[in-house]
Structure 1
Amino acid sequence: MEIDDDLLANSDAGTEDDDEFVELAPEQTSAMDGMDPEEFPYDVLALEQVVTLMVDIIKEVRNVVEIPATTTRILLNHFKWDKEKLIETYYESDPDRIFADAHLISPSRKVAIACSKREIKPRYSVKENGEYVCEICYASVPEQLMSGLECGHRFCISCWTHYLTTKIMDEGMGQTISCAAHNCDILVDDETVMKLLSDSHVKLKYQHLITNSFVECNRLLRWCPTPDCGHVIKGQYVSDKPVTCRCGHTFCFACGQNWHDPVKCSILRKWIKKCDDDSETSNWIAANTKECPKCRSIIEKDGGCNHMVCKKCRFDFCWVCLGPWEPHGSSWYNCNRYDEDEAKRARSAQEKSRAALQRYLFYCNRYMNHMQSLKLENKLYASVRDKMEEMQKHNMSWIEVQFLKKAVDVLCQCRQTLMHTYVFAFYLRKNNQSIIFETNQRDLEQATEQLSEYLEREITQEVLRDIKQKVQDKSRYCESRRNVLLKHVHEGYENELWEYLDNI
């Protein structure tokens, strides 16, 4: 059985009951609108085209290494679908070692067994009265109802079917299903899976898992992150460039996140991790609690009185200065006096945590505000569409009212850029270039807010001419300020002008 004849059957999610793979005519979208194709060329592939691409790569490698198609697929998956690396390694190193690392039986081992006229004896199967005992269910079945892999382990077809169905449907495994025998890591090939399975839904799920593995492992392919989209972006090389799917979603090809210019993928990953983990909870605890000066127990103040009594060691101390409470009633005790020398010598860990938390919240709040505004701004498309229809009823052509949609497009682009400028600024060390960046950021933010106000106004026939001119002028200005900001950041990247803070 060939992989392109059986494994790829029923690959279309919309035709689960079809028995043959239907090859559709290529329908690819190259290079996102408004972008120079030479800068980052890419294609948008449908699921059928992804399967065809996978089969073509398997055939290409198979013609060189001359091994079965299903074995070739497992090897390619082991090498992350880097066919050049697979072919080079196959001929320049020990092939047996490659097959062992990929959890396969080497063809040379099978040839040696054939030449010596020996057979791999079934393991864990005992012949009784002309029948075999399945080592999983311990049922006695005829030999024709037994099946196994080249490792020699054989079990009854019923147990194999249940085992494969469980792995595929319950555990979501496809390319990493190993032999059902205990402690055997030989992978089950596609031919065996398709021969043993009879349920079309299980077969379809297996095919989708194999296809998904192909995309996930291939560095030149990336799923569109839009839910239920199903399209794949194919690039000619890996780069942190924006790509636009056929569904209209634009994202970064390198990391798969929404397009995040001007911040780099590595910095964005740090920011997302910082927002997701519990580090800020720890900062809050450090900023709002103190340790008992005697036993170091963590104490949170829940009243106005500064006289604290540790519940653990019963030590009386002052919440403000952390000194013993007893001398606070004496006239000579200076709890209210700021010790400049002590402040210069060291800042407490609590003060550092509080300052770090305040700084994080400053940038996080602005990041989240622009994210929320972007979500709300997207709702403007509905109201703008109504306004455009209303304008067309007052002797305005379809072309004349397109300035509103263009303005909302610019507004959303500016919001998304501003949102990520605060991620960039959070990690940026202060210098002359950062001051220029913040000035550009301020100018873009002010222009964006003004454009947003114009678009949210009630547009009537009386004020249409005035509003139209203001919206068009402000849209052009926002685009200009956004380009200035991005150009400055990119020049900083090219000339290595940006310096980043450590340990945040």
Structure 2
Amino acid sequence: MDSEDEMNYDEEEEDSQEEDSNDEDFVDIAMEPEPSTASDSRETEDFQYEVLTADKIVHVMVECIKEVNAVVQIPATITRILLNHFRWDKEKLMERYYDGDQDSLFSEAHVVSPYRKDPRQKRSTRGSTSASTSESMCEICCLVIPHTDMAGLECGHKFCFQCWTDYLTSKIINEGMGQTISCAAYGCDILVDDVTVMDLIKDAKVRLKYQHLITNSFVECNRLLRWCPAPDCGHVIKVKHYDVKPVRCTCGHTFCFACGENWHDPVKCIWLKRWIKKCDDDSETSNWIAANTKECPKCHVIIEKDGGCNHMVCKNQNCKADFCWVCLGPWEPHGSSWYNCNKFDEDEAKKARDSQEKSRCQLQRYLFYCNRYMNHMQSLKFENKLYQAVKLKMEEMQQHSMSWIEVQFLKVAVDVLCSCRQTLMYTYVFAFYLSKNNQSIIFEDNQKDLEHATEQLSEYLERDITSELLVDIKQKVQDKYRYCESRRKVLLDHVHEGYERDTWDYQDGL
């Protein structure tokens, strides 16, 4: 949100002003920018959503206010405050508005009922001309001020322009308040509407800050909208219905619409939130786990990982040990169907006798899953770097009589590799909270198959692709990434089926 065009309160449309003689109803026309077509409609499977620019966000907000105001027939400023009170749920507001207790509704929303307005209470605004020359004392600065130099809300409290300006500026700049600024009178909870704010505040920076706060509040309160969490991205995702689905912003960032985290299938938002909190609480442990160096299990020389593949070969000329980066065990059995590098020995943990031993087993269990989670996160970062290496390799291949289309298999392979890494990363969060049953055993088998295939694909892309071996390796890479994608789908389908049938049991105490 970096442009002052985001919410243009200052550009008034003359035609609309002539049609509406009521200044209060005119507020939302004044804040409405030109309708923007700069939006991007997208669809993920059956989940439709739209990517909105800053101007489009304001347009959506104004249209929402107009739609409700056309039914309830009250000043637009009050409509906006009521909508914000109900988190921009139009149906809930309508239901509450027509339930017969409107006075209670307005009181809860901290606005003066337009139906009980005292005609003697006429609020003053800057620049208004009044025949009255009487004066009053401002209750804030205690100066005697002409009525024409004072302003107030429908609650009847009036103060001088300068005190109002100082009060509103402090609330906006120092406290970051927009939608919830109350009257300056002590003990009065009536909210200040945007007409009053924009009429009294003339400082461009304060006005822009207020506009940002109003827009941000609209998005934060609306369950059908979410800011893109990518750094320096001011776009908003608008969905037709709320759901836990992945959405992709025009900036390229894909995230979960429900929680805003990176898309984390197969683990649910609630468990991912608990996992992130647990990792934050154990930050020193996590930092130790995430270290980039380990000792060779054979010669104990320090090994640094510089790629995503977990198949390590010690470069010590007198060692040359083949081992797994994750478990530090020999690499050879990792290709066997009976070997489980991804499975924690729960039976061994159950043998713990006292509380100290149980605590140690719980820590070992956490380290087991966190180690694998962090390892895939680290590998995923390396795979993203792999795109650059593959791009160079594709350019090299095109110089050896291969067409642009023929070399696209490499980019597809890296895309699949990254998808598999991300899925595997979150399977260890899911597995950490999962209780043992027959379905969890099937899940671990699917996880093991996907992990094994992913490591093979990673090894092909990092080590085996050369111009000389291109013909032999191309079919091998294509077969492997297709197999990886099929195993990933099998794993996810099994987890989703368990969600639908409620077959998963969780260890809530972790």
Question: TM-score, normalization: structure 1?
Answer: 0.78
Aligned pairs (5 A) from 1:186-205 = 186-205=190-209
Is contact 2:36-2:59 (8 Å) kept? Answer: no
> Deviations along 1:248-276, whole A, 9 cap, x unmatched?
21111111111111111122122122222
Aligned pairs (5 A) from 1:47-58 = 47-58=54-65
Give 1:78's aligned residue.
85
Q: Pick from 151, 155, 165 the counterpart of residue 159 of structure 2.
A: 155
1:398 aligns with 2:404: yes
Give 1:103's aligned residue.
110
Assess, with a 3 A threshold, how the Cα gap between structure 1 residues 243 and 121 changes in structure 2: closer, same or farther.
closer
Give 2:17's aligned residue.
none
Q: Pick from 360, 368, 376 the counterpart of residue 354 of structure 1.
A: 360
1:59 aligns with 2:66: yes
- The total of aligned residue pairs comes to 419
Is contact 1:11-1:204 (8 Å) kept? Answer: no
Give 2:439's aligned residue.
433
1:352 is displaced (CA, Å) by 2.0
Give 2:98's aligned residue.
91
> Deviations along 1:113-166, whole A, 9 cap, x unmatched?
33xxx44899xxxxxx95433222333332222111111222111121122122
Q: Distance in 1 between matches of 2:185 and 2:101?
A: 27
Assess, with a 3 A threshold, how the Cα gap between structure 1 residues 233 and 121 changes in structure 2: closer, same or farther.
closer
Q: Pick from 141, 163, 175 the counterpart of residue 145 of structure 2.
A: 141
Q: Pick from 475, 484, 489 the counterpart of residue 490 of structure 2.
A: 484
Is contact 2:352-2:358 (8 Å) kept? Answer: no
Is contact 1:367-1:423 (8 Å) kept? Answer: yes
> Deviations along 1:272-327, whole A, 9 cap, x unmatched?
2222236998xxxxxxxxxxxxxxxxxxxxxxxxxxxxxxxxxxxxxxxxxxxxxx
Residue ranges of structure 1 left out of the alignment (5+ in a row): 1-8, 123-128, 282-343
Assess, with a 3 A threshold, how the Cα gap between structure 1 residues 474 and 458 changes in structure 2: closer, same or farther.
closer
Is contact 1:16-1:204 (8 Å) kept? Answer: no
Aligned pairs (5 A) from 1:113-192 = 113-114=118-119, 118-119=120-121, 130-192=134-196
Q: Pick from 208, 232, 236 the counterpart of residue 228 of structure 1.
A: 232
Give 1:12's aligned residue.
6
Is contact 2:173-2:209 (8 Å) kept? Answer: yes
Is contact 1:10-1:17 (8 Å) kept? Answer: no
- Greater shift in the superposed pair: 361-370 or 150-159: 150-159
Q: Pick from 254, 259, 284 the counterpart of residue 258 of structure 2.
A: 254
Q: Distance in 1 between matches of 2:357 and 2:418?
A: 38
Structure number with greater Rg is 1
Give 2:42's aligned residue.
31
Q: Pick from 270, 273, 276 the counterpart of residue 272 of structure 1.
A: 276
Is contact 1:44-1:234 (8 Å) kept? Answer: yes
Assess, with a 3 A threshold, how the Cα gap between structure 1 residues 51 and 466 changes in structure 2: closer, same or farther.
same
Assess, with a 3 A threshold, how the Cα gap between structure 1 residues 408 and 92 changes in structure 2: closer, same or farther.
same
| Structure 1 letter corresponding to 2:229 | P
Q: Distance in 2 between matches of 1:119 and 1:413?
A: 64
| Structure 2 letter corresponding to 1:210 | I
Secondary structure, aligned partner of 1:107: coil
Assess, with a 3 A threshold, how the Cα gap between structure 1 residues 24 and 466 changes in structure 2: closer, same or farther.
farther
Q: Pick from 448, 463, 468 the counterpart of residue 457 of structure 1.
A: 463
Q: Distance in 2 between matches of 1:66 and 1:501?
A: 53
Assess, with a 3 A threshold, how the Cα gap between structure 1 residues 121 and 29 changes in structure 2: closer, same or farther.
closer
Assess, with a 3 A threshold, how the Cα gap between structure 1 residues 121 and 87 changes in structure 2: closer, same or farther.
closer
Report percent identity of matched pairs. Answer: 69
Is contact 2:123-2:153 (8 Å) kept? Answer: no
| Structure 1 letter corresponding to 2:86 | F
Give 2:315's aligned residue.
none
Q: Distance in 2 between matches of 1:172 and 1:263?
A: 35
Secondary structure, aligned partner of 1:354: helix
Question: TM-score, normalization: structure 2?
Answer: 0.77
Secondary structure, aligned partner of 2:112: coil
1:51 is displaced (CA, Å) by 0.9
Is contact 2:380-2:418 (8 Å) kept? Answer: yes
Secondary structure, aligned partner of 2:136: strand
1:440 is displaced (CA, Å) by 0.8
Aligned pairs (5 A) from 1:343-382 = 347-382=353-388
Secondary structure, aligned partner of 1:405: helix
| Structure 2 letter corresponding to 1:11 | D
Give 1:299's aligned residue.
none
Assess, with a 3 A threshold, how the Cα gap between structure 1 residues 393 and 16 changes in structure 2: closer, same or farther.
farther
| Structure 1 letter corresponding to 2:417 | L
Q: Distance in 1 between matches of 2:184 and 2:396?
A: 67
Q: Distance in 1 between matches of 2:10 and 2:114?
A: 35
Is contact 2:416-2:485 (8 Å) kept? Answer: yes
1:170 is displaced (CA, Å) by 2.2
Secondary structure, aligned partner of 1:488: helix
Assess, with a 3 A threshold, how the Cα gap between structure 1 residues 346 and 47 changes in structure 2: closer, same or farther.
closer
Q: Distance in 2 between matches of 1:182 and 1:277?
A: 42
Give 2:415's aligned residue.
409
| Structure 1 letter corresponding to 2:211 | Q
Is contact 1:240-1:252 (8 Å) kept? Answer: yes
1:489 is displaced (CA, Å) by 0.9
Assess, with a 3 A threshold, how the Cα gap between structure 1 residues 245 and 216 changes in structure 2: closer, same or farther.
same
- Greater shift in the superposed pair: 63-72 or 346-355: 346-355
| Structure 2 letter corresponding to 1:486 | L
Is contact 1:437-1:485 (8 Å) kept? Answer: yes
Q: Distance in 1 between matches of 2:122 and 2:204?
A: 32
Assess, with a 3 A threshold, how the Cα gap between structure 1 residues 227 and 16 changes in structure 2: closer, same or farther.
farther
Assess, with a 3 A threshold, how the Cα gap between structure 1 residues 421 and 90 changes in structure 2: closer, same or farther.
same
Q: Distance in 2 between matches of 1:254 and 1:384?
A: 34
| Structure 2 letter corresponding to 1:83 | K
| Structure 1 letter corresponding to 2:58 | V
1:473 aligns with 2:479: yes
Secondary structure, aligned partner of 2:115: helix
1:16 is displaced (CA, Å) by 11
- Greater shift in the superposed pair: 85-94 or 21-30: 21-30
